[in-house]
Structure 1
Amino acid sequence: MPGEGFFLADVLMPSHLATFTVLMLLTVLSASTTMLYRLQLILCTASAFILLYSVGASADGLLEGASPFARVSLGSGFWTSLFLLGLLLTDVVIKLNLQGLKRLLFILSVVIGVVAVLKTGALDNLSIIKEYQNQDTFWQQALRHVQLSFGSLVPAILVGIPLGIKCHRSQAVRNGVVPILNVLQTIPSLAMFGILMIPLSYIAVTFPTLSDLGIKGIGAAPAVIALFFYSLLPIVSNTIAGFDKLDGKTLDAARGMGMNARQVLFGIELPLALPVILSGIRIVVTMNIGLVAVAGLIGGGGFGTYIFQGLGQTATDLVILGAFPTLLLSFVSAVLIDAIIEVVKGNKS
């Protein structure tokens, strides 16, 4: 049934509304002053938490005396406000130039704060929280999402880096491999899953033992194989770029010191090219986390299961329950890899 929309000002207690309004005004004012980055960071974070607590309190008030089946969903105004606060937070973190560990500690503190708010039960009457409470398999699907995302990454690294090194050293190999990987990258994910279903279904019928191991036309197998193909181009391309930018004088000096080809590769070339290779891995991780959501259509599991269930049931909150953790997982993974890249660059220096 269609619901009735409310403005935040109509349902919040005056104290909550005043606090949130003042914090938002101070946040906007501090954003225009270049010397108050730390204050802006504190105000943005505080505004986000006050916004969360306020909508939870408003949900409690709206549901007093209502039907047990009544729901309070978050409207576009909430998500717009949260998005703008996220942009301000991202901007101030960049301007503060928080490096590696400091950036991770800040994100960890925000996550702990959100978990603490959820544990208090302040948001329990929101529809999205009720959807979460009704999904007994949420954490199983979360684990499946991580397994699919990173399970395809490991073989892609093991194949992609040696292949990239070979492409760097042989123009003929590069001319043959890179165009093929470019073509694979242009195939839509749903089409790739469909293409893989045919041979995998045949293999499952022909070899029942492989079918018992999970290699079938639907499920995790086509998802992992498709993600493996998609992962190759960024890793191979960045490996080529990392090796292409190496200073020839450095390599000549290493050989002049008596280092053999293997020692030069593992002692000089790979460490110097590693930051660029890690940048390719970061692209793969964020891309895979998003593509795994599509695997929900073929029984692959993960957060995509909730997204497509919600689309089928016209349940917006169920869609958000699948989409928001996917976005959060992608963001945290990217920040973590960025921190690793900074550490590697520091060690290289």
Structure 2
Amino acid sequence: MLWDSAPLNAVLPGALALTAGLALGIPAGAPLRRLGGSLLGLAGLILLLARGAASQLDGAGDLARVSPAAGAWCLLLVLMLLMADALSQLRPGPRARAGLLALLLAALAALLWSGALSNLSVLQEYASRKEAFRTAALRHLALALGSLGAAALIGFPLGILCHRNGSLRGMALPVLSFLQTIPSLAMFGIMIPILGWVAATYPAARALGIAGIGFAPAFLALVLYSLLPVVANTVTGLAATPPAAIEAARGMGMTGAQRLWKVELPLAMPVILAGLRIVLVQNIGLAVIAGLIGGGGFGSFVFQGLNQTATDLILLGALPTVLLALVAAIVMDILVDLTRRIPERQP
């Protein structure tokens, strides 16, 4: 254990800060106290890991590694839950949440840049795979954001048509719902022979990079998974437009297209953005599976780590995926709240 192998003066400050943070954050009470306690405990845990890892590696050789045990991850989870609970009680506005998110990301970037945690094994894995990590990060973002954009380009018009045409809605939504029921591994696997046949039959498709394995099948699978939330939320948002607003727009002489763009879509935007939030968070997670079929992304580290029984390599792929999904969810929630406030500010 850390207490048995590290000098007391190395771990005592972090342990005291962690204990004080938990003592402040765990008891029910003022949310500000809980938020402050969680931040203090988080700082103590980071200090404990940094100084403990440095003391354990002192004179241990270049090949020695130090990795947080299950207790450290459980403490991190508890502190994050305390922080989330405090913020849910405080209910900060969208701009305050955006500022807090920017502050936390800046603090995380400064911590990583400082090298205080560089002795941890997962960061040593990163140091030896920097170029591969950058490539995987860009590919993961391309898969998640690209599939979101493609699904929006297809899903918005389809959702508008489904809202206007009940027969089309009755056909489209069940098909899209069926696609959602296909397990992710099966969906990615189905894409392999289909796009493999397309690449073998059409040289132009092969020249564009379409193949049975790689980016294309992963991208197509993610687009198919994304269509239902986009279409369904577009239909729901448009259907929830107050009839009085539509009648007022019609009384002002607006055409159907003008009513759609100036009245219905702005009022439906919070619901539509909520669908995009679902898609983005879902695709960030599902893009990990692209590593199984050569699609790249953080999943390549996860599956390499599973094959080699290397926990640190798994964490190198899993931790940025979780962080990316959390940031995406918070940003989309902020956008949803901002669009909900727009009608309230209008005279």
Per the normalisation by structure 2, the TM-score is 0.94
Deviations along 1:180-214, whole A, 9 cap, x unmatched? 00110011122112211112111212223321321
My pick for the range that moved more, 62-71 or 337-346, is: 62-71
Which residue does the alignment assign to 1:79? 73
CA–CA distance in 1 between the matches of 2:32 and 2:45? 20
Distance verdict in 2 for CA 1:241–1:120, change over 3 Å: same
Partner-residue secondary structure (3-state), 1:125 = coil
Which residue does the alignment assign to 1:3? none
My pick for the range that moved more, 190-199 or 282-291, is: 190-199
Which residue does the alignment assign to 1:205? 200
CA–CA distance in 1 between the matches of 2:270 and 2:233? 9
Kindly indicate whether the alpha-carbon contact (under 8 Å) linking 2:11 and 2:52 is maintained by their aligned counterparts in 1.
no
Alignment of 1:41 onto 2:35: yes
Structure 1 counterpart of 2:115, from 101, 108, 121 = 121
Which residue does the alignment assign to 2:264? 269
Which residue does the alignment assign to 2:184? 189
CA–CA distance in 2 between the matches of 1:25 and 1:12? 20
Please state how far the C-alpha of 1:99 moved relative to its aligned partner. Answer: 1.6
Please state how far the C-alpha of 1:23 moved relative to its aligned partner. Answer: 4.3
CA–CA distance in 2 between the matches of 1:92 and 1:232? 35
1:309 counterpart letter in structure 2: Q
Which residue does the alignment assign to 1:284? 279
Q: How many residues align?
A: 343
Deviations along 1:104-136, whole A, 9 cap, x unmatched? 221221222222222222212111011000113
Deviations along 1:205-249, whole A, 9 cap, x unmatched? 222332132110111101111111100001111111111212112
Which residue does the alignment assign to 2:244? 249
**Alignment root-mean-square deviation, CA:** 1.7
CA–CA distance in 1 between the matches of 2:71 and 2:132? 30
Distance verdict in 2 for CA 1:286–1:9, change over 3 Å: farther
Which residue does the alignment assign to 1:66? 60
Structure 1 counterpart of 2:88, from 94, 97, 102 = 94
- How do residues 113-262 of structure 1 correspond to structure 2 at under 5 angstroms? 113-135=107-129, 136-262=131-257
Q: Mind listing any 5+ residue stretches in structure 2 that lack a counterpart?
A: none
Kindly indicate whether the alpha-carbon contact (under 8 Å) linking 2:10 and 2:55 is maintained by their aligned counterparts in 1.
no
Please state how far the C-alpha of 1:10 moved relative to its aligned partner. Answer: 5.3
Please state how far the C-alpha of 1:340 moved relative to its aligned partner. Answer: 1.0
Which residue does the alignment assign to 1:335? 330
Distance verdict in 2 for CA 1:73–1:155, change over 3 Å: same
Which residue does the alignment assign to 2:305? 310
2:166 counterpart letter in structure 1: Q
2:235 counterpart letter in structure 1: I
Deviations along 1:271-295, whole A, 9 cap, x unmatched? 0000000000000000000000000
Per the normalisation by structure 1, the TM-score is 0.93
Q: Mind listing any 5+ residue stretches in structure 1 that lack a counterpart?
A: 1-5
Kindly indicate whether the alpha-carbon contact (under 8 Å) linking 2:18 and 2:45 is maintained by their aligned counterparts in 1.
no
Please state how far the C-alpha of 1:59 moved relative to its aligned partner. Answer: 1.2
1:272 counterpart letter in structure 2: L
Which residue does the alignment assign to 1:111? 105
CA–CA distance in 1 between the matches of 2:204 and 2:166? 41
CA–CA distance in 1 between the matches of 2:7 and 2:46? 12
Kindly indicate whether the alpha-carbon contact (under 8 Å) linking 2:20 and 2:41 is maintained by their aligned counterparts in 1.
no
Deviations along 1:80-105, whole A, 9 cap, x unmatched? 00000000011111111112121122
Share of identical aligned residues, percent? Answer: 43
Partner-residue secondary structure (3-state), 1:154 = helix
CA–CA distance in 1 between the matches of 2:253 and 2:144? 42
Please state how far the C-alpha of 1:140 moved relative to its aligned partner. Answer: 1.5
